């Protein structure tokens, strides 16, 4: 029809101006826009967290009031969870990569993909509108506090409800794309592990999100009509709200982490020049996690007043989920065995992911053990555990992806050396922020506390100083990324997977001819020593 | 994809559904005690199954569609089973 | 005029998009058809779980407050409920016929059937309106007790789906007059029909649970 | 600084043993992962751009190994966690039952002998205690780090905590379920005392308290009560608006109430407000504030109320 059929034109050059981006159906442009959006929200929520940490430099009021503090941690949690990390890697890199990896010209429902993005924008806007009278419930909206607090709960929950549709529609799009659009020869056991992870994530998005949707709708009903399901004063049950909420929010943890795991599975083989170790185990454990993660939500509620029997059941199943995760960690490690390992910035982030995620996972064992959780629940131990998984895991995975696919996305290279300096600062800063919090929590420092006892001061201060290093590292990373140095080859890392076998940046229609796949995505190394 | 005379089949199915609706209402006249809900749910499920299989053509769909049609039912069961287990085993500990 | 244009652009965003959106599909019609159906089934799965929260709340509170549920249920109008059930199942049948008819290129039949469906849906809505207003005039509303909260929440969310279904089928009906569908191209009617059947399915459960089992 | 808090109940050493067990497992695993990571990175670093690598895709033995070992460890940790949790949740027959009421943002305790205390829990050493807890408003959570016990407190339903204190002393009670603006000030103390002292405290009604304050000026006593009875959670003394009105310059000030009436804040007004804060007809809630203050009837003696009034007079 028009010039976009010109195959030589890459997706970045095909059309200029706001309209050509905001109304595009090109999955690559949508992926890039999601990346921008989550980046902006990440910075917003990070600023909130810096203020929170600054407040803790001394006990009592340091810079902000108690009410502002409560608003800030709610804002930090809600924006980080619903605007940044849930759409996060799946929507940005999922959109950019899945069609390239499966050898398709786009996702199966390109227009729906655009609508999902619009819905995401609308939901974010609604959620942020609530800043006019900011909410102080915490991102978990526990009843009955959220029913009777005077703040803008309805607007925020409605925003989350709308965002849910974006999540669901993106999930449907990815699942159906992977069923219907894989290139000839790209069988399920040749599919890149990032796609497997995205598939498992999409399943969770499609099946878990509606439950939180109805829960938040009912919460709105509680506030408007006084429905009473979650209000003890009306014969309802606040713990039931927690059941409904965590039925979504526990699988949501895996919505956040699985795509990052997928990224690690892509990056490590490339920089080790080895096939991924235990392809099937990693692929199936993604699926296993997706299925079992629906069975463990109650481990967020061991001290909530849940019955003893159900606590025990949830504890057992929780330990069952720990196993597939352990398998993945060792498989990634063993991929490097006898390889040819190059420590690029992307690889450094991936290796840091393995280490930090191991700590995050192991500290989960403390929380899964019933008697220990009684002590540790709702303390800083949980805060530290969660951030080791979410930052040490997801965010490090995202940074790895940003560096790894940078040449493919922008057609340019960044300064590797500077990127490694930024990595070092981020890694050190992160650990200084969050490791002391494990100790704080074990000593009994509760979370969501504006004020704290003087004996916790040293560790709190240490943690706050860490945020400054982390912040500097993050700014330096952005600086490095915004200053490209020279053009990129189509395949600077000599990867064998499909998305690198095309020009950088990719042409608008991806493939002139749909490719036929004949080998595995991880076809590295010589076959002499295969299978002892 | 449809059978020889789909309109006739649909009409039969519709008549069956009407009959089942009548049974549901009629059965509610009697008190079966604890069986009231299971009976109502059983009839409703038969109706739902008929609608899904014939009107929604689930009969002709591939196994993937079947999985996506049935798996949410399993999740719904989990949601109810676990939260009910909690609420009805809360003896004083 | 500007406003009308804007509203129209909301309904048909594609009309104001750059040409790239109007690109013909990258995929063959067969793939597109089966993909749309699979996508719709996935969407139905989410709809089912959306109602799942309500069913779970129903199950738990019914077991907790059996007397309240028995009394509340006895106060609901079984006749009106039964009439609505018959109407909704009938409309499900008409949609099923419409989907088959389009595959035989019988556009006229499709249009008649979709009109009947829409009328049935409207009657369903009017009945619900009478039911709600009767309850509300007697001082019974959401929040009266847990049973009525469930009743209003469940039927309310269901009613919302009826409206959405009406909108979907309405747009499809309009497009049949524009000649957009044929024997070769009927995916929209089929997945619109699937959505309508789901609305029916949910009601098949809600009716006995709310009106009959006391 | 010790990484574990004081251990002062029979449950605490049990929890600590799990914490130690999992810590050891974690440290060993972390060292293993960290070592392998660094070893592989160094040993197999890229030497030339055309390094030959073997195409190892899997190894059934290794994979079974790192499936089985974590599984065994997980089962072990679960069993530990379960056994101690079971002990903790099983009440001892004849335990000393204390009723706990949580409300924003204070704790009150009612004892079997009819005594009541506020933000101060008294328990005898080495006697099993059972707390029967309920919330008057939103969710709260009762947490004593020294005892390693924690349980959410819910409205319209009782929840329970069992513990046997093993060490005399004063320990912190925290609220760990977020409950609003003064969540982090919803603090209390638990006093573990010997049997003899406990008996004294039980029989002595407020005599002990009076003795403790012997020789102190009333306004100084009031200043102590201000923090020990939880007034500090809602009322500032520096003029800042909290949940309730500030006490600065309060005495003698004209107050306007939500029903539009006015009154001068004198001794009688303050006493009435402490005893009947929100219940009409006596209760007068100052305009601009929510009617959330709990009644201190039975929790403060007349002389203590007088002391608080004297203290308020001094805050200028």
Mind spelling out the 3-state secondary structure of A99-131?
HHHHCCCCCCCHHHHHHHHHHHHHHHHHHHHHH
In a domain, C18, yes or no: no
> How much is the pLDDT for B1?
45
CB atoms within 10 A of CB B11: 13
Contact A23 C142 (CB under 8 A): no
Our separate counts of H helices and E strands in chain B read 3, 0
Q: What is the CATH number of the domain that holds C177?
A: 1.20.120.80
Number of structural domains in chain B: 2
> How much is the pLDDT for A531?
43
> How much is the pLDDT for C17?
42
Question: In chain C, whose CA is at the least distance from the CA of A226?
Answer: C143
Note the pLDDT tens digit of each residue in A82-92: 999 999 899 99
User: Is the CB of residue A217 less than 8 Å away from at least one CB of chain B?
Assistant: no
Contact C18 A172 (CB under 8 A): no
Let me know whether B32 and B77 are in one domain: no
Peptide bond into A144 cis (omega under 30): yes
Taking the C-alpha atoms of residue A354 and residue C209, their distance in angstroms, rounded to an integer, is: 50
Name the token pair of B44. Answer: 């409703």
In a domain, C38, yes or no: no
Taking the C-alpha atoms of residue D221 and residue D305, their distance in angstroms, rounded to an integer, is: 10
Which chain C positions have a beta carbon within 8 Å of B11's beta carbon?
93
- B29 CA to chain C: closest CA distance, Å? 9
> How much is the pLDDT for D13?
93
> Dihedral, CA atoms, A148, A152, A157, A159, nearest 10 degrees?
170
What is the sign, positive or negative, of the torsion defined by CA atoms of D4, D7, D12, D17? positive
CB atoms within 10 A of CB D79: 12
Contact B25 C78 (CB under 8 A): yes
> How much is the pLDDT for A2?
41
Domains and CATH numbers, chain A: 18-523 (1.20.210.10)
Note the pLDDT tens digit of each residue in A466-521: 999 999 999 999 999 999 998 888 888 888 888 898 888 998 888 888 888 888 88
Those chains having 3 or more beta-carbon pairs within 8 angstroms of chain D are A, B
Taking the C-alpha atoms of residue A17 and residue A360, their distance in angstroms, rounded to an integer, is: 43
Taking the C-alpha atoms of residue A405 and residue A408, their distance in angstroms, rounded to an integer, is: 5
Is residue A389 predicted with pLDDT exceeding 50?
yes
Note the pLDDT tens digit of each residue in C120-132: 999 999 999 999 9
- D29 CA to chain B: closest CA distance, Å? 33
Greatest CA span in chain B, whole angstroms?
A: 64
Domains and CATH numbers, chain D: 96-204 (2.60.40.420), 209-314 (1.10.760.10)
> How much is the pLDDT for C19?
38
Mutate to test the interface with D, among A237, A309, A380, A444 (most CBs of D within 10 A): A444
Nearest CA among A385, A253, A250 for reference residue A314? A250
Contact A530 D57 (CB under 8 A): yes
Question: In chain C, whose CA is at the least distance from the CA of B35?
Answer: C213
Q: Nearest by CB to A303, which of D1, D150, D181?
A: D150
Mutate to test the interface with B, among A205, A249, A310, A374 (most CBs of B within 10 A): A310
Is residue C106 predicted with pLDDT exceeding 70?
yes
Let me know whether B70 and B42 are in one domain: no
How many beta-carbon contacts under 8 Å exist across A and B? 47
> How much is the pLDDT for C172?
92
Nearest CA among D99, D104, D101, D131 for reference residue D185? D104
Contact D90 B93 (CB under 8 A): yes
Let me know whether B39 and B52 are in one domain: yes
Q: Nearest by CB to B86, which of A207, A243, A295?
A: A243
Helix, strand, coil percentages in chain B from 3-state DSSP, rounded to 5: 80, 0, 20
Name the token pair of A202. Answer: 């999409």
**CB-based burial, C128-155: b 16+ in 10 Å, e otherwise:** beebbeebeeeebebbbbbbbbbbbbbb
- For chain D, state the CA radius of gyration: 27
Which chain B positions have a beta carbon within 8 Å of A313's beta carbon?
82, 85
> How much is the pLDDT for A38?
95
DSSP B60: G
Which chain D positions have a beta carbon within 8 Å of B92's beta carbon?
91, 158, 160
Let me know whether B48 and B72 are in one domain: no
Contact A233 D156 (CB under 8 A): yes
In a domain, C132, yes or no: yes
Q: Nearest by CB to C201, which of B6, B14, B52?
A: B52
Q: Nearest by CB to A298, which of B72, B75, B82?
A: B82
Let me know whether B47 and B3 are in one domain: yes
Those chains having 3 or more beta-carbon pairs within 8 angstroms of chain C are A, B
Angle in degrees, CA C94, C95, C96, rounded to 5: 90
CB atoms within 10 A of CB D278: 15
Q: Nearest by CB to A274, which of D53, D148, D182?
A: D53
Residue D201 CB partners (closer than 8 Å, separation 6+): D122, D193, D208
Note the pLDDT tens digit of each residue in A216-268: 999 999 998 888 899 888 888 999 999 999 999 999 999 999 999 999 999 99
Angle in degrees, CA C97, C100, C105, rounded to 5: 115
Residue C18: helix, strand or coil by DSSP?
coil
Mutate to test the interface with A, among D32, D43, D54 (most CBs of A within 10 A): D54
Let me know whether B89 and B45 are in one domain: no
* Ramachandran class of D191: left when φ > 0, alpha when ψ lies in -120 to 50, beta otherwise: beta
Residue A2 CB partners (closer than 8 Å, separation 6+): C19, C20
Cβ atoms of D81 and D25 within 8 Å: the answer is no
Contact D89 B92 (CB under 8 A): no
**Placement of tokens 């131990």 in the chain:** A381
Which chain B positions have a beta carbon within 8 Å of D158's beta carbon?
92
Please give the residue range of the domain that contains residue C177: 47-212
Let me know whether B44 and B3 are in one domain: yes
Taking the C-alpha atoms of residue D33 and residue A329, their distance in angstroms, rounded to an integer, is: 8
Is residue A32 predicted with pLDDT exceeding 90?
yes
Taking the C-alpha atoms of residue C98 and residue C90, their distance in angstroms, rounded to an integer, is: 13
> How much is the pLDDT for C26?
62
Chains C, A in contact: 3+ Cβ pairs under 8 A?
yes
In a domain, C57, yes or no: yes
Binding-face residues of A in 181-210 toward B, CB within 8 A: 207
Mutate to test the interface with A, among B82, B91, B93 (most CBs of A within 10 A): B82
Contact C48 B72 (CB under 8 A): yes
Contact B83 C205 (CB under 8 A): no
Residue D141: helix, strand or coil by DSSP?
strand
Residue C15 pLDDT level (bands cut at 50, 70, 90) = very low
Residue A438: Cβ-neighbour burial (10 angstroms; 0-12, 13-18, 19+)? buried
Over residues A334-362, the mean pLDDT reads: 93
Mutate to test the interface with B, among C30, C42, C51, C52 (most CBs of B within 10 A): C52
Question: In chain D, whose CA is at the least distance from the CA of B90?
Answer: D159
Q: Nearest by CB to B72, which of C45, C100, C207?
A: C45
Contact C23 A1 (CB under 8 A): yes
Name the token pair of A227. Answer: 């429905």
Let me know whether B44 and B78 are in one domain: no
Chains C, B in contact: 3+ Cβ pairs under 8 A?
yes
> Dihedral, CA atoms, D44, D48, D50, D56, nearest 10 degrees?
0
User: Is the CB of residue B92 less than 8 Å away from at least one CB of chain D?
Assistant: yes
Name the token pair of C147. Answer: 């049973």
Alpha helices by DSSP H, listed for D44-110, are: 60-89
Name the token pair of A28. Answer: 């690559």
Is residue A8 predicted with pLDDT exceeding 70?
no
In order of A497, D59, D208, D313, the CA distances from D222 in angstroms are 75, 74, 16, 10
Angle in degrees, CA A401, A404, A406, rounded to 5: 95
Lowest mean pLDDT among A441-450, C157-166, D169-178, D290-299: D290-299
Is residue C11 predicted with pLDDT exceeding 90?
no
Is residue C10 predicted with pLDDT exceeding 60?
no
Quote the percentage of chain A above a pLDDT of 70. 97
- Partners of residue A58 on adjacent β-strands: none
Residue A342: Cβ-neighbour burial (10 angstroms; 0-12, 13-18, 19+)? middle
- B57 CA to chain A: closest CA distance, Å? 19
Let me know whether B30 and B41 are in one domain: yes
**Placement of tokens 């005594």 in the chain:** D115
Please give the residue range of the domain that contains residue B28: 1-60
Over residues A85-105, the mean pLDDT reads: 92
Over residues A427-435, the mean pLDDT reads: 95
Let me know whether B14 and B32 are in one domain: yes
In order of A298, A317, D90, the CA distances from A251 in angstroms are 12, 14, 32
Quote the percentage of chain C above a pLDDT of 70. 87
Taking chain D (316 residues) in runs of 10, the rounded mean pLDDT of each run is 84 93 94 94 88 83 89 92 92 90 88 85 92 92 94 91 93 93 90 89 61 71 80 81 82 81 81 76 75 76 82 84
**CB-based burial, D26-49: b 16+ in 10 Å, e otherwise:** beebeeebeebbeebbeebebeee
Q: Nearest by CB to C18, which of A23, A215, A237?
A: A23
Question: In chain C, whose CA is at the least distance from the CA of B81?
Answer: C56
Question: In chain A, whose CA is at the least distance from the CA of B87?
Answer: A307
Contact A375 D145 (CB under 8 A): yes
User: Is the CB of residue D158 less than 8 Å away from at least one CB of chain B?
Assistant: yes
> How much is the pLDDT for B2?
45
Q: Nearest by CB to A307, which of B72, B78, B90?
A: B90
Contact B93 A308 (CB under 8 A): yes
Residue A113 pLDDT level (bands cut at 50, 70, 90) = very high
Question: In chain D, whose CA is at the least distance from the CA of B87?
Answer: D157
> Dihedral, CA atoms, A57, A58, A64, A68, nearest 10 degrees?
90
Note the pLDDT tens digit of each residue in A299-323: 999 999 899 999 999 999 999 888 8
Chains D, C in contact: 3+ Cβ pairs under 8 A?
no
Which chain B positions have a beta carbon within 8 Å of C44's beta carbon?
69
- ipTM, interface predicted TM-score of the complex: 0.88
Name the token pair of A45. Answer: 């929520």
> How much is the pLDDT for D211?
57
Taking the C-alpha atoms of residue A467 and residue A433, their distance in angstroms, rounded to an integer, is: 6
Is residue B4 predicted with pLDDT exceeding 60?
no
Nearest CA among C40, C17, C3 for reference residue C187? C40
Cβ atoms of D74 and A322 within 8 Å: the answer is yes
In a domain, C37, yes or no: no
- D127 CA to chain A: closest CA distance, Å? 21
Contact C146 A229 (CB under 8 A): yes
Name the token pair of D192. Answer: 């573990």
- D226 CA to chain A: closest CA distance, Å? 17
Let me know whether B22 and B48 are in one domain: yes
Let me know whether B78 and B67 are in one domain: yes
């Amino acid at each position: 029809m028009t010039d976009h059929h010109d195959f030589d034109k890459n997706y970045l050059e095909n059309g200029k101006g706001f309209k050509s981006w905001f109304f595009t159906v090109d999955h690559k442009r949508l992926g890039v826009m999601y990346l921008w959006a989550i980046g902006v929200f990440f910075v917003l929520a990070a600023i909130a967290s810096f203020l929170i940490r600054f407040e803790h430099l001394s006990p009592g009021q340091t810079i902000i009031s108690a009410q502002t503090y409560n608003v800030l941690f709610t804002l930090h949690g809600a924006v980080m969870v619903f605007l940044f990390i849930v759409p996060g890697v799946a929507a940005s890199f999922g959109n950019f990569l899945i069609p390239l990896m499966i050898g398709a010209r786009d996702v199966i429902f390109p227009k729906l993909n655009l609508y999902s993005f619009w819905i995401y924008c609308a939901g974010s806007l609604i959620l942020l509108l609530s800043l006019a009278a900011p909410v102080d419930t915490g991102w978990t909206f526990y009843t009955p506090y959220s029913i009777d607090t005077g703040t803008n709960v309805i607007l925020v929950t409605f925003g989350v409800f709308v965002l849910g549709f974006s999540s669901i529609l993106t999930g449907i799009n990815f699942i159906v794309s992977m069923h219907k659009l894989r290139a000839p020869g790209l069988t399920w056991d040749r599919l890149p592990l990032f796609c497997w992870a995205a598939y498992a994530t999409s399943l969770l998005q499609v099946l878990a999100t509606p439950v939180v949707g109805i829960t938040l709708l009912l919460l709105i009903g509680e506030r408007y009509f006084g429905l009473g399901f979650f209000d003890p004063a009306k014969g309802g049950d606040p713990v039931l709200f927690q059941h409904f909420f965590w039925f979504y929010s526990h699988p949501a943890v895996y919505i956040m982490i699985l795509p990052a795991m997928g990224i690690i599975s892509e990056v490590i083989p490339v920089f080790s020049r080895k096939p991924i170790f235990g392809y099937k185990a990693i692929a199936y454990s993604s699926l296993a996690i997706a299925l079992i993660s629906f069975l463990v939500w109650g481990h967020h509620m061991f001290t909530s007043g849940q019955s003893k029997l159900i606590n025990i059941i949830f504890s057992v199943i929780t330990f069952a989920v720990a196993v597939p995760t352990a398998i993945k960690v060792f498989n990634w490690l063993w991929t490097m065995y006898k390889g040819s390992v190059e420590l690029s910035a992307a690889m450094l982030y991936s290796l840091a992911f393995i280490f930090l995620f191991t700590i995050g996972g192991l500290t989960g064992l403390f929380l899964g053990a019933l008697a220990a959780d009684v002590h540790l629940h709702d303390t800083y131990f949980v805060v530290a555990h969660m951030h080791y998984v979410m930052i040490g895991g997801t965010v490090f995975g995202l940074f790895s992806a940003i560096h790894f696919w940078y040449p493919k996305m922008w057609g340019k290279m960044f300064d590797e050396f500077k990127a490694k300096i930024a990595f070092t600062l981020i890694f050190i800063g992160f650990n200084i922020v969050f490791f002391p919090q494990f100790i704080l929590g074990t000593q009994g420092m509760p979370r969501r506390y504006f004020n704290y006892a003087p004996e916790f001061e040293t560790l709190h201060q240490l943690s706050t100083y860490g945020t400054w290093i982390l912040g500097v590292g993050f700014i330096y990373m952005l600086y490095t990324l915004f200053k490209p140095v020279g053009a990129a080859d189509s395949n600077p890392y000599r990867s064998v997977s499909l998305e690198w076998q095309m020009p950088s940046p990719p042409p608008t229609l991806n493939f002139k001819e749909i490719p036929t796949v004949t080998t595995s995505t991880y076809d590295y190394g010589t076959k002499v020593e295969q299978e002892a | 994809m449809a059978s020889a005379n789909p309109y006739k089949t649909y009409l039969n199915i519709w008549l069956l559904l009407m009959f089942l609706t009548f049974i549901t209402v009629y059965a509610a006249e009697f008190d079966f005690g604890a069986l009231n809900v299971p009976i109502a749910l059983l009839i409703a499920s038969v109706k739902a199954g008929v609608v899904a299989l014939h009107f929604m053509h689930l009969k002709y769909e591939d196994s993937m569609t079947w999985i996506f049609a049935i798996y949410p039912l399993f999740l719904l069961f989990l949601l109810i089973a676990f939260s009910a287990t909690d609420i009805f085993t809360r003896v004083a500990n | 005029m500007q406003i009308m244009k804007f509203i129209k652009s909301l309904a048909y965003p594609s009309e104001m998009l750059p040409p790239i959106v109007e690109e013909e599909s990258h995929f063959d019609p067969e793939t597109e058809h089966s993909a749309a159906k699979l996508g719709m089934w996935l969407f139905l799965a989410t709809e089912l779980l959306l109602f799942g929260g309500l069913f779970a709340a129903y199950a738990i509170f019914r077991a907790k407050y059996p007397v309240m549920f028995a009394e509340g249920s006895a106060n609901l109008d079984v006749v009106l409920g039964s009439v609505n059930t018959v109407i909704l199942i009938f409309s499900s049948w008409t949609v099923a016929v419409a989907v088959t008819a389009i595959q035989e290129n019988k556009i006229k039949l499709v249009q008649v059937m979709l009109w009947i469906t829409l009328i049935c849906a409207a009657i369903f809505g009017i009945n619900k309106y009478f039911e709600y207003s009767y309850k509300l005039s007697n001082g019974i509303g959401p929040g009266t007790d847990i049973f009525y909260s469930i009743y209003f929440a469940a039927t309310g969310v269901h009613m919302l789906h009826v409206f959405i279904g009406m909108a979907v089928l309405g747009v499809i009906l309009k497009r049949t007059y524009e000649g957009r569908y044929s024997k070769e191209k009927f995916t929209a009617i089929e997945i619109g029909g699937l959505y309508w059947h789901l609305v029916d399915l949910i009601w098949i459960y809600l009716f006995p649970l709310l009106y009959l089992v006391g | 600084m010790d990484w574990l808090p004081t251990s002062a109940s029979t449950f605490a050493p049990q929890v600590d043993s799990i914490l130690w067990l999992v810590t050891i497992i974690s440290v060993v695993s972390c060292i293993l992962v960290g070592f392998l990571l660094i070893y592989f990175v160094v040993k197999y670093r890229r030497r030339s751009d055309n390094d030959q690598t073997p195409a190892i895709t899997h190894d059934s033995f290794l994979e079974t190994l790192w499936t089985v070992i974590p599984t065994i460890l997980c089962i072990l940790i679960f069993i530990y966690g379960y056994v101690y949790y079971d002990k903790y949740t099983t009440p001892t027959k004849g335990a000393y039952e204390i009723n706990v009421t949580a409300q924003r943002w204070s704790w009150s305790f009612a004892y079997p002998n009819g005594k009541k205390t506020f933000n101060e829990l008294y328990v005898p050493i080495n006697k099993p205690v059972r707390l029967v807890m309920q919330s008057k408003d939103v969710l709260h959570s009762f947490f004593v780090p020294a005892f390693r016990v924690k349980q959410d407190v819910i409205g319209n339903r009782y929840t329970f905590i069992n513990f046997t204190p093993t060490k005399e002393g004063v320990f912190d009670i925290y609220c760990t379920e977020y409950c609003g603006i003064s969540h982090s000030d919803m603090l209390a103390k638990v006093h573990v005392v010997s049997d003899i002292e406990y008996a004294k405290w039980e029989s002595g009604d407020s005599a002990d308290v009076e003795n403790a304050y012997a020789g102190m000026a009333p306004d100084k006593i009031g200043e102590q009560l201000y923090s020990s009875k939880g007034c500090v959670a809602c009322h500032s003394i520096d003029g800042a608006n909290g949940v309730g009105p500030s006490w600065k310059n309060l005495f003698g000030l004209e107050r306007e109430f939500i029903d539009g009436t006015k009154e001068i804040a004198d001794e009688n007004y303050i006493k009435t407000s402490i005893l009947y804060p929100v219940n009409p007809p006596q209760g007068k809630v100052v305009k601009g504030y929510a009617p959330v203050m709990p009644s201190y009837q039975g929790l403060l003696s007349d002389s203590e109320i007088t002391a608080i009034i004297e203290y308020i007079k001094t805050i200028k």
